[in-house]
Structure 1
Amino acid sequence: MQDFTSIPIVDLAQDKQKVAALVRRACCESGFFYIVNHGVDAALQERLEKLSHAFFQKDEAYKMRWRMALGGKAWRGYFPVGGELTSGKPDLKEGLYLGTELPADHPKVKAAVPLHGANLFPDLPGFKDSILSYMDAVTNLGHRLMEIMGLSLGLSADYFHKHYTQDPLILFRIFHYPPDPKPQSTESWGVGEHTDYGLLTILKQDDCGGLQVKSRSHWVDAPPVKDSFVCNIGDMLDRMTGGLYKSTPHRVKNVSGRNRYSYPLFFDPGFDTEVKALPLAKVEQDDREERWDKASVHAFQGTYGDYVLSKVSKVFPDLKQDVLEKKP
């Protein structure tokens, strides 16, 4: 892990090779970067924000009509404040889990493959259409960014699409962080220190702030930047690059005194895709002792589905028992 003091801003309107060089530098130094001129419609983002606020302002009984226990193996739906764990501790947030909308006759749904299926859409007018439109727009952006990521590593622009993301696993979250009742406490966190699991996270955050990224010697704020997304790499890209690109720990604490909303979309390898080191990668010395979870991503062998299920089952242990381990 390197020492850095700020998160760089990358303008996607620049020449693609220049963008690739900037992304490479960001991934080697901090694992995080902002993007501007990304092309995702501002009006669509505004609709998503208004509808999300409307949903989370409803009472608990209303929101629990779309609770995750009703989503089955698709792992979709609502969870209340404290319902998600990080390193075994409840997060000070509530959320709505979503993903690629698949019909009942889709082969992976018929085969009961976890994390695949239909979403549980709250019955707010326009919510379903806005969510699906937003997910499509940011997924397309994800494909564009992975082309840049390929170029940044000296690979072809279509390398990741050919080998990992022709059918990406897309998971989308809408999170609401209420004001932290103990803003000075180091015991409570909106979400505790963690790394993301897959390839690339594309985060829309509001103007409240609270996101922090771990540098070698201190935590660095990632404050809101107007009309931007925050991007960060996940464990699988760390593994693929042999540690050249690090999945950097980050956390959230809402000390704004206001309700904070964030919208991460996880653009990840296909569920059944075996994740291997890239041809160019030389695995660095095992870094498990430096990692927040004391686990080596470089020792992992298997598909992305194997990896993500091993992680998600720790986040929602009750669902793991009731859904994944329940026999038909």
Structure 2
Amino acid sequence: MNDTAIPVIDIGALRRLDPAGSRRIAAQLGRACRETGFFCIVNHGVPEAAIDAVFEHAETFFALSVEEKMKLSLERHSRCFRGYAPLLSELADGKRNPYELMEFSVEFAPNHPDVVSGKPMHGPNLWPALPGYREALTCYIGHMVGLGFDLMRGIALSLDLQEDFFRLAFNDRPFWQFRTAHYPAPKDLPQIASIPASAEKLAQTEIGDYSCGAHTDYGCLTMLLADSPGLEIQTRDGCWTSAPTLPGAYVCNIGDMLQYWTGGRYVATRHRVNTACERLSLPFFFQPDYETLVVPLGQVRGASNNASAPLQYGPYAFRKYQEIYPGARLR
């Protein structure tokens, strides 16, 4: 597979709710989900100004001192996987990754009943005290939630489901996760390797050879923008190929949960980051509601030979995040 095997799909008609155009785009999405698990989208409707603002604020934040960023430490100050994760604190492919990031998810006030009761992964975000930062990211997140529903509507049509199938299954309240991620330049890696681990379990874990080790995403749908190349995708024959880089286009991929939901009809593809220069990326993970019960489609349609059991999304996601952040303080 080369770069051209990852299709570029214009989703304008899907966004306009054009029935014939939506069916045509759904067919393209379905083919991509079956064959590669990856696709690029253009004409997505996310304003360029909103994208630029998030990149600018992310760059400003990551330029702060380590001491300043650690005031928002995910491990020290959050019990719901929100905040700043420093270099080498996150795991992929069983190894520590040499990049830093900020994690955001659905906002829950400290007095929200789910927060008070201690429900995992529910709580407030940790926002930097930078002018305009929270406003810019909140605006962008709103656009991404809308885009996520647009794409899931197309994916539903590609599976011959009602177009609102996933919106209803998500209870109209996706439990999204959003990251701003900073990958240092390779020339800085010798200094990075000397950084002590933030937890005993991490101290016993090897540092990875890549900016982010090979993995599949655990959720339903990922939508990614980055300011430079580096994303690599594993082909069915085990080889690695670079994902295309198109200005303003999102690189999208499906995750383990959508593969499970479709009974393996759609495939989650392993990928990694192997960057040759400093890199900023904005992955947005569009996930079901915490309470969503994922019933494999064979069971939804009444097939008797589907052995996969229904799975509640929230506890599944919680387990995955415990694996990703072994140093995090939990409830």
Place the TM-score, normalised by the shorter chain, in its bin: 0.7 to 0.9
Whether 1:213 and 2:261 are equivalent positions in the alignment is no
Whether 1:314 and 2:313 are equivalent positions in the alignment is no
Q: 1:242 aligns with which of 241, 258, 263?
A: 263
Structure 1: which amino acid aligns with 2:286?
Answer: F
- After TM superposition, give the deviation of residue 104 of structure 1 in Å: 2.2
**Contact 2:98 2:208 (C-alpha < 8 Å) held by counterparts:** no
Output aligned runs, 1:261-272, within 5 Å.
261-272=280-291
- After TM superposition, give the deviation of residue 238 of structure 1 in Å: 0.2
Aligned-pair identity (%): 36
Structure 2: which amino acid aligns with 1:211?
Answer: L
Residues in 2 aligned to 1:71 and 1:102: alpha-carbon distance in whole angstroms: 15
Structure 2: which amino acid aligns with 1:7?
Answer: I
- After TM superposition, give the deviation of residue 280 of structure 1 in Å: 5.0
SS at match of 1:314: helix
RMSD: 2.2
Residues in 2 aligned to 1:115 and 1:11: alpha-carbon distance in whole angstroms: 35
The two structures have a TM-score, normalised by structure 1, of 0.87
In structure 2, do the counterparts of structure 1 residues 172 and 50 end up closer, same or farther at CA, with 3 Å as the change threshold? same
- Long gaps (5+) in structure 2: 14-20, 190-206
Deviations 1:243-280 (A, max 9, x none): 1100111110111x3x2011111111111212110135
Q: 2:330 aligns with which of 317, 323, 328?
A: 323
- After TM superposition, give the deviation of residue 182 of structure 1 in Å: 9.1
Number of residue equivalences: 303
Residues in 2 aligned to 1:310 and 1:280: alpha-carbon distance in whole angstroms: 28
Residues in 2 aligned to 1:204 and 1:108: alpha-carbon distance in whole angstroms: 32
In structure 2, do the counterparts of structure 1 residues 195 and 281 end up closer, same or farther at CA, with 3 Å as the change threshold? farther
- After TM superposition, give the deviation of residue 69 of structure 1 in Å: 2.7
Output aligned runs, 1:85-164, within 5 Å.
85-164=91-170
In structure 2, do the counterparts of structure 1 residues 280 and 26 end up closer, same or farther at CA, with 3 Å as the change threshold? farther
Residues in 1 aligned to 2:72 and 2:273: alpha-carbon distance in whole angstroms: 25
Residues in 2 aligned to 1:12 and 1:236: alpha-carbon distance in whole angstroms: 23
In structure 2, do the counterparts of structure 1 residues 128 and 187 end up closer, same or farther at CA, with 3 Å as the change threshold? closer
Residues in 2 aligned to 1:103 and 1:156: alpha-carbon distance in whole angstroms: 34
Residues in 2 aligned to 1:23 and 1:280: alpha-carbon distance in whole angstroms: 21
In structure 2, do the counterparts of structure 1 residues 181 and 169 end up closer, same or farther at CA, with 3 Å as the change threshold? same
Structure 2: which amino acid aligns with 1:273?
Answer: T
The two structures have a TM-score, normalised by structure 2, of 0.86
Whether 1:26 and 2:32 are equivalent positions in the alignment is yes
In structure 2, do the counterparts of structure 1 residues 224 and 69 end up closer, same or farther at CA, with 3 Å as the change threshold? same
Q: 1:275 aligns with which of 294, 297, 300?
A: 294
Query: Who is 2:185 aligned against?
Result: 179
SS at match of 1:51: helix
